Amino acid sequence: MLSLLLFHFGAPAIRHSETNSTPIELILDSPETEQQVAPQLVASPEIQQNTTHALARPEKPVEPAVAEPADPAAPVRAVPVVPELVLPPVQASPAPSGLAIPPVAPSAISADSVRNAEAIYIGKVRAYLQTIKRYPTGREASLQRPSGIVVVWFMVRRNGEILDAGIETSSGSMLLDNAALATVRRGVYPVFPFETWPGKAQQHFTVALDFIPAQ
């Protein structure tokens, strides 16, 4: 009985001494401890596949915004009107006193130039008529074989159109006079040069045509 009581009271003392003699170690959190203790989260194969597919999916293009039609019932907002900038007119500076600006005179054509141009035109027309004249044909012309000079007058407009023609000096042969008139009337005349016969719409010409029978 006594032994049992000693055992009962002696046991707690022994545990207390052992407990007090042994230091208590406090384990603080450290990076190494967290690395060892913290569980490693590893995604499952299915989650990894879904994540990879989501990253590889191309982004949907952004559609441009479409402006909605204006509501006819909505009030119209007044736009401020900016006044237009009007510049004052530029005034020309007056000419210095005593300095007269001469007017621009048209270019004048000398009388010699006019006469020279008219002579050239007449010479060309007369030479042209000599090239187109024809000796009269037929039985009467073959028998008579007339010869002579016929002076023919004719009127020509500035555009080269012939107005009228007649015999100014006869050759004495009706055959030759008619042949001379036919020559002048079928001629084609050039337009007057602008410096010739100023102020005239038409001009009177004469030409002497010499007819000689062929040998």
Q: What is the pLDDT of residues 37-47, one digit of tens each?
A: 444 444 455 54
Assess contact for 209 and 150: CB atoms under 8 A: yes
HSE-CB at 178 with a 13 A cutoff on CA atoms is: 7
Dist CA 121 CA 69 (whole Å): 79
Mean pLDDT value of segment 97-110: 50
- For helices 174-185 and 111-132, give the axis angle rounded to 10 degrees: 120
| Domains of the chain from N-terminus onward | 112-211 (3.30.2420.10)
List beta partners, residue 136. none
pLDDT, residue 78, reads 56
For the chain, percent of residues with pLDDT exceeding 70: 50
Confidence of residue 179 (pLDDT cuts 50, 70, 90): very high
